[in-house]
Structure 1
């Protein structure tokens, strides 16, 4: 690492000559604007039939005006005659997407009590509208662990590799939509693709860096492990968010690229800690030959002889040279999938129960989101694109 930097030389070298087209820079919005947007949403949601309650994750206050968003959870009845009308009504209640960056979450009444089994963040829920409902704030360390294992096999470090290397092209600084962007990544050779700037969603990147930081601190707090690289990353993201509006545009963009590079190295340190902790609590996954598992458009490579340095280097080569979304991870983090498949795996009984509870709750949550938030064609599209990216991965590897 260079002074004051977390990112390894491998990560910095692999991304140092890429060009970026930054868009959607966070804009400062006063707390009153967030309150007005929330109040308007609540007024509008009252006319949507089937809505039971609206909660907000956290204190109901915005921690970083202009960067943060309003994290709402809309609870709906289990039986609704017209799900499309509910989905459209919830979407239309938002005054400006800026204030509701990735939400709201939508979940059914019966699934809501176990919401924290799926997203076990250490935050309270504030009731803004409707019925006051009972819910369990699951603080079980194995529930946290099962969640984090799922996160490193579906999200980290892949999300930051994609942000840094090829989230999608921009032509004349006009970004392509997700369908054309995926088609570009599938079909255009790397020597051609790199003539285009990497299309970087600035606010999304800042938001996801904060989410990664939160998950790392959840791991550190729940396990009591000493995590110096992750602690340094925590401090760096706090600094990024606090200083963002004090910097000019060029300084922000330079700092953001550095933090995305740092995130990749921090993610591999995170995976290393997770691998060690799984061994510490008695999780033993039988070693097999190198295997590749798919998750939507990402295809992870799980190695029995895994190490941080080679995994990070080889992953960067896959993303940069092969232009495939393949992260190299240890086989220990396949524990959740192997338990789900009924494979022979040694794991504490409490961990098995936590995973079963999480999976039950996640199925309910996923069904709610599919019915009341996501586009009806999303699941089919992701299956098709996953298969196509899987074919590209096999050809490149």
Structure 2
């Protein structure tokens, strides 16, 4: 498995890269700050040595530089100690060097402006030094003399101190980074554990060991598992609907086929019988196809504007029943949207409006509105109305047991409404005919 195929590997590698970059940046910053601090401290010590030289320096009556035999800083008297001093009497072109320079030729600064401090890192004879120089106009007994005082310290000690600190710093930072990385890996494993459990449950669902995702998960995953369970339920309902439709279709076609076989023995009745039973089988097939094609409560369907659908159905029915001169009244807010499959919407609204147009004398009124998270659809006509409303609703279970005259339209609508977990009610309209009310809950 490649690393980019795993969320855990991506997070671990990403966290490691960020951690390494942070630790490297922080380590370099701390190391540099320490080096600057140590360098500043070293220069301050060398500056103190310069002041020590100034305190011991004297000029005799002839302007000759006179220095004491010993200094409070013992390294100035120890040959090769690593601390070296030099004073240049510019007027007399004479120099004084500390005893520590015996046998050495350190690269002292011999030209510094009066009143100027100079801090440098210099090299000479294959060695590096930290150097502090100071130019001063020294007031002697008879006259003033310009002096250049220079103090050098072997840089090896400074480099050693920096090296020890860097080694200690990177050892601790590396250990801390490793500990943090291990901690992040453990935390990521703990944080991603719910995803692994979801994947395991999905495998069990695929193998048929369980019906849905059953575990309780954090809020960030709960929405995913809820939607997944909804999809699983919808798919099972759809499969059940297909199986039932095939079973009902096979069962419902037995009677018309038996009638046709019987009619073969009566040639005189055969044409009328064939016409009647073919129409009956066509209605049965339409009914079962409508049931099987119903999408059901579409939680993931996009919101569909209903006003354009109602207007298209009204225009189509106006052309189909043009000879009746029907007056359609459609009341639907133009901004009303509902989460429903477009095919289901056309099938449901088209069938109820077509049934009303078929039986209406002059007027059809359609009202659609939204109230309390429910979609309300009402279709009324001024026709004869339903003769036995309770029987109509009960007989929609089977396509071969329909109320004569109503076709398969209301049966398909009843199944669609049931698939959306809604309600279908039939009653008497104020227009004098039938009133059909559909209430659909939000998906």
Give the TM-score, by structure 1 length. 0.23
Instruction: Mark the structure with the bigger radius of gyration.
Output: 2
Query: Which structure has more RCO (C-alpha within 8 Å, separation ≥ 6)?
Result: 1
Q: Which has the higher strand share?
A: 2
Give the TM-score, by structure 2 length. 0.21
